[in-house]
Chain A
């Protein structure tokens, strides 16, 4: 029983990261109806931002690490929007080309960072107030607690922003129908800037915690493929769906790795994704979207 509870706790902590990443995917998809495969590269660059602040500037608190990551994450995300996507949207390019462009950005940035920084791991040493909390035989690491709590706070703030603010309403309107939102006087380019900035923010927070949990290296963003699966399971374009999908996937993967074998983990993850798409084509909480990329 203890092991089971321990695995659930571990799964929720991993799910928190997936959820945050999946929200970044879902936001872009909800507005522009394409999957931003450059998200992994943005996450990785943001993690290097945190590394720069903590290692080079010697500011080793969690807040300074997160700030460094957010600055870089938002800049790279906005640069990606400006350089790789906006011009394609102006040309009324198919969403398929946007997705291919995103893949190109991902590979380009990853290779550029490999050349610039080498493939070596870099340890992100951020001081935490405590190490492990024990409840009997159940152990919860401080990093898990902080990553889960901060992820939930960010998701909550994001929800309030989208539901209660003027810009949030504009984002929702654009997500519902971008062309009509434009005709109604909403500046879609400004909204896209806000959305990519938020996406960069979620990538930065995820990147910082992933850098702390694992390390900072050029292929760190590869894990964002899990966020894509989470997003599909929860419902592409649905923010609550993305969060739910992230937690489902995190717990599912942990259970399979712990009780069966990690060899079967991706088999199960993708089987669940396929099953969801077969029986719930819009994901668990997705709205009526007819096609998904």
Chain B
């Protein structure tokens, strides 16, 4: 019996070593760059949240990229090669699953570039992986400033790019709009204490709001696993605030907050960031969300997206997901990567990175003239639009541009 047990343990250890030990050694070195385009096809990767409650952002992104690549192949592919698309789900655990996904994409799938992820918590863990493996990663909605610029050194993360605006500007735009345009001199805040996106955005908003002369009546928190907010909402009402800034990472938090405030008979004017923007928020929160303000990068009601929306919704009807601005971000990302590969005339990671740094006036899906700032890898002068919920619809009420 003991010898059998010993044999079993030995076999398991051997298999583990073969699968992970030697694989790990290979990971550290990375395979030659040319392996990525040695065949008659190249691969583009995507990862994000496909299964948890934030999937309404990332699943449409995956569909949009897959559709675009299908179309790209119909047009002859990239530099004469067919383009394959791989994607991985990191929804269950952003930190570990994102690293696993990028490792697989680099080592196993040999991707020439990554379009995604859509959220900062998925992008932040893979920065060093992308830099070390020289794999360009164009994030499509990750707004945390640290995704592209190292906070400690102030230097740009060479292989990380983004097509979205960044939190400092979004927080500042919302604070200015609340204080100057809406005339709120007092406001309360509620944010997830364990979420980088929420805490970063909260800090930028509060700093700017206070600088303008506004008063934060109370700052309350919740945990990302929470569904119950009535205790905090009662305390917020008691503080005398009539406006509430909630930098939530998913629409479900916004829906819970609005519904539970209504259950307590409380009325606030809500200010939310782009992460909650979705049709699902309107469907779930219902009339309670009327009059809320949401900052977003582009207006989904813009007629120039109509054809895309119709085609997308028809093709993916069975999935239950509809076209949304996250899908638009994905379109921007994949079109930017296509442009960079063509500009570089190469699939080499460094050449693509160099091309991306020179991107100026590139026509993308949402921006007719898109420019990357080489020193930050952020888009130049990206628009922030403020939407108001009116009669169950988002209506554009203001736009901000950093350069204005």
Interfacial residues, chain A to chain B (CB-CB below 8 A): 2-3, 6-7, 10-11, 14, 111, 114, 118-123, 125, 131-132, 134, 139, 141-144, 210, 213-215, 217, 219, 222-223, 253-255, 257-259, 261-263, 265-266
Q: List 20 A-B contacts (CB under 8 A).
A: A2-B238, A7-B235, A14-B230, A120-B53, A131-B263, A132-B263, A139-B265, A144-B263, A210-B227, A214-B256, A215-B255, A215-B284, A222-B225, A253-B231, A258-B235, A262-B221, A262-B222, A262-B226, A263-B193, A265-B223
Q: In the complex the two chains form, what is the Cα distance from A254 to B260 in whole Å?
A: 14
Residues of A within 8 A of B238 (CB): 2-3, 6
Contacts known (A114-B51, A258-B231); A123 close to B286, Cβ less than 8 A: yes
Chain A interface main SS type: helix
Interfacial residues, chain B to chain A (CB-CB below 8 A): 51-56, 59, 91, 193, 220-223, 225-228, 230-232, 234-235, 238, 251-252, 255-256, 259-260, 262-266, 280, 283-284, 286, 319-321
Residues of B within 8 A of A259 (CB): 235
Q: Once the chains bind, are B264 and A262 in contact (CB under 8 Å)?
A: no
Which chain B residue shows the least CB distance to A214?
Answer: B227
Which chain B residue shows the least CB distance to A131?
Answer: B265
Residues of A within 8 A of B283 (CB): 123
14 more CB-based (< 8 A) A-B contacts, given A215-B256, A261-B193 = A3-B235, A10-B231, A119-B52, A120-B55, A121-B252, A123-B284, A125-B286, A131-B265, A132-B265, A139-B265, A253-B228, A258-B232, A262-B220, A265-B223
Residues of A within 8 A of B193 (CB): 261-263
Q: In the complex the two chains form, what is the Cα distance from A88 to B83 in whole Å?
A: 51
Most buried by A among B235, B263, B321: B263
Residues of A within 8 A of B286 (CB): 123, 125
Which chain B residue shows the least CB distance to A141?
Answer: B263
Q: Once the chains bind, are B255 and A121 in contact (CB under 8 Å)?
A: yes
Residues of A within 8 A of B52 (CB): 119, 219
Q: Once the chains bind, are B220 and A261 in contact (CB under 8 Å)?
A: yes
Which chain B residue shows the least CB distance to A122?
Answer: B284
Residues of A within 8 A of B265 (CB): 131-132, 134, 139, 141
Q: In the complex the two chains form, what is the Cα distance from A14 to B51 in whole Å?
A: 28
Chain A proximity of B227: nearest CB distance (Å): 5
Q: In the complex the two chains form, what is the Cα distance from A259 to B221 in whole Å?
A: 11
Q: Once the chains bind, are B234 and A217 in contact (CB under 8 Å)?
A: no
Q: Once the chains bind, are B221 and A119 in contact (CB under 8 Å)?
A: no
Q: In the complex the two chains form, what is the Cα distance from A279 to B385 in whole Å?
A: 57
Q: In the complex the two chains form, what is the Cα distance from A266 to B51 in whole Å?
A: 26
Residues of A within 8 A of B266 (CB): 139
Q: In the complex the two chains form, what is the Cα distance from A223 to B54 in whole Å?
A: 18
Chain B proximity of A11: nearest CB distance (Å): 8
Residues of B within 8 A of A222 (CB): 225
Residues of B within 8 A of A123 (CB): 255, 283-284, 286
Residues of A within 8 A of B232 (CB): 257-258, 262
Chain B proximity of A77: nearest CB distance (Å): 22
Contacts known (A141-B264, A213-B263); A257 close to B231, Cβ less than 8 A: yes
Which chain B residue shows the least CB distance to A124?
Answer: B284
Q: In the complex the two chains form, what is the Cα distance from A214 to B230 in whole Å?
A: 11
Residues of A within 8 A of B227 (CB): 210, 214, 223
Q: Once the chains bind, are A121 and B234 in contact (CB under 8 Å)?
A: no
Residues of B within 8 A of A131 (CB): 262-263, 265
Q: In the complex the two chains form, what is the Cα distance from A254 to B223 in whole Å?
A: 14
Q: Once the chains bind, are A120 and B320 in contact (CB under 8 Å)?
A: yes
Q: Once the chains bind, are B223 and A119 in contact (CB under 8 Å)?
A: no
Interchain CB contact (< 8 A) of B252 among A210, A215, A254, A257: A215
Q: In the complex the two chains form, what is the Cα distance from A46 to B308 in whole Å?
A: 38
Q: In the complex the two chains form, what is the Cα distance from A126 to B290 in whole Å?
A: 20
Which chain B residue shows the least CB distance to A11?
Answer: B231
Chain B proximity of A51: nearest CB distance (Å): 12
Q: Once the chains bind, are B53 and A121 in contact (CB under 8 Å)?
A: yes
Contacts known (A3-B235, A131-B265); A10 close to B230, Cβ less than 8 A: yes
Q: In the complex the two chains form, what is the Cα distance from A6 to B231 in whole Å?
A: 8
Q: In the complex the two chains form, what is the Cα distance from A9 to B284 in whole Å?
A: 25
Residues of B within 8 A of A253 (CB): 228, 231
Residues of A within 8 A of B320 (CB): 118, 120
Residues of A within 8 A of B221 (CB): 261-263
Q: In the complex the two chains form, what is the Cα distance from A123 to B392 in whole Å?
A: 15
Which chain A residue shows the least CB distance to B286?
Answer: A123
Which chain A residue shows the least CB distance to B227?
Answer: A214
Which chain B residue shows the least CB distance to A256?
Answer: B231
Q: In the complex the two chains form, what is the Cα distance from A6 to B264 in whole Å?
A: 10
Q: In the complex the two chains form, what is the Cα distance from A14 to B55 in whole Å?
A: 28
Q: In the complex the two chains form, what is the Cα distance from A8 to B193 in whole Å?
A: 24
Chain B proximity of A177: nearest CB distance (Å): 36
Contacts known (A120-B55, A132-B263, A134-B265); A7 close to B255, Cβ less than 8 A: no
Chain B proximity of A124: nearest CB distance (Å): 10
Most buried by B among A120, A215, A253: A120
Residues of B within 8 A of A134 (CB): 265
Which chain B residue shows the least CB distance to A217?
Answer: B53
Residues of B within 8 A of A143 (CB): 263
Contacts known (A132-B263, A263-B221); A121 close to B228, Cβ less than 8 A: no
Q: In the complex the two chains form, what is the Cα distance from A14 to B229 in whole Å?
A: 11
Which chain B residue shows the least CB distance to A6?
Answer: B234
Closest 9 CB pairs of A and B: A132-B265, A141-B263, A258-B231, A257-B231, A254-B231, A139-B265, A3-B238, A119-B55, A123-B284
Q: In the complex the two chains form, what is the Cα distance from A255 to B53 in whole Å?
A: 28
Residues of B within 8 A of A215 (CB): 252, 255-256, 259, 284
Q: In the complex the two chains form, what is the Cα distance from A210 to B227 in whole Å?
A: 10
Chain B proximity of A208: nearest CB distance (Å): 15
Residues of B within 8 A of A3 (CB): 234-235, 238
Q: Once the chains bind, are B51 and A119 in contact (CB under 8 Å)?
A: yes
Chain A proximity of B251: nearest CB distance (Å): 8
Most buried by A among B221, B252, B256, B284: B284
Q: In the complex the two chains form, what is the Cα distance from A118 to B55 in whole Å?
A: 8
Residues of A within 8 A of B231 (CB): 7, 10-11, 253-255, 257-258, 262
